[in-house]
Amino acid sequence: MDATIIGTVAPLVKRIGTRMANPLRADAVRNIELIVGAAAEAFAEVGTGISMTEVATRAGVGVSTLFRRFPTKSDLIDAVFSASVTRWLGHLSEALEQPSPWPALRDLILKVTKEQARQPASANMIVTSFLHGDGFLAEKKETENGISTLLRRAKTAGDVRDDVEWWDVRLVLEANAGVLMSGEDDAAESSRRVVERILDGFERK
């Protein structure tokens, strides 16, 4: 199971509990963690075409338990992406606490783009669902505010060009998604090169 999922499903658990009109028991929450963690690992290994039955087997839960929480494959993919967004916001909070804003922001962007490379579904959904969709409005605003703050601090420190804005960071994520969705065998390595070169261009020389 993908251990990075643990602790990132709280918003998802809250939504499921609200939908069912009752708070979820501890064992139900644990099952959700197991399912989402196993799905994240499986999607990274073999893609989203893996069967729901195989995900249940990997999670160590019954198929009926999986379908009770995630009736469709799309629901499960959304859950994995939601957990990723929660994790990214945690990374953003940590970056905002760092004394050197540009190294912190650069590291944050590299973490997110590397996860895009590891999770092809995230590569696409960060564009379609997060940057341009309506499902993560609060999270997107928090991200925009946090990254804008880091950019402002980095400019004050003299590390980043004055014309770099939040929209430029958005373009990094969109460009990275395009590279990763190309289907090339070396897409992950191409992703790394593209992102690092764009970030180098952000720096004040």
DSSP annotation of 205: -
Main-chain dihedrals φ then ψ at residue 2, nearest 5 degrees: -70, 105
Residue 89 inside a domain? The answer is: no
pTM listed for this prediction: 0.81
Same domain, 176 and 111: yes
Domain endpoint, select from 71, 106, 127:
71
Lowest-confidence pick of 21-30, 48-57, 63-72, 123-132: 21-30
Q: Which pLDDT does position 66 carry in this prediction?
A: 93
Containing domain of residue 30, as a range? 3-71
Q: Which pLDDT does position 12 carry in this prediction?
A: 56
Say if CB 29 and CB 13 are below 8 A apart.
Answer: yes
Residue 168 inside a domain? The answer is: yes
Q: Which pLDDT does position 10 carry in this prediction?
A: 54
Same domain, 58 and 120: no
Classify burial at 33, counting beta carbons within 10 Å of its beta carbon; exposed 0-12, middle 13-18, buried 19 or more: buried
Say if CB 63 and CB 114 are below 8 A apart.
Answer: no
Q: Which residue do the tokens 């469709």 mark?
A: 72
Q: Could you tell me what percent of the chain has a pLDDT over 70?
A: 87
Same domain, 43 and 109: no
Same domain, 9 and 49: yes
Number of domains forming the structure of the chain: 2
Q: What is the mean pLDDT of residues 114-143?
A: 84
Residue 43 inside a domain? The answer is: yes
Same domain, 187 and 118: yes
Same domain, 66 and 138: no
pLDDT tens readout for residues 79-118: 888 888 888 899 999 999 999 999 999 999 999 998 888 8
Same domain, 64 and 123: no
Answer left, alpha or beta for residue 158, where phi above 0 means left and psi between -120 and 50 means alpha.
left
Pairwise CA distance, residues 138 & 134, whole Å: 10
Pairwise CA distance, residues 155 & 203, whole Å: 9
Residue 93 inside a domain? The answer is: no
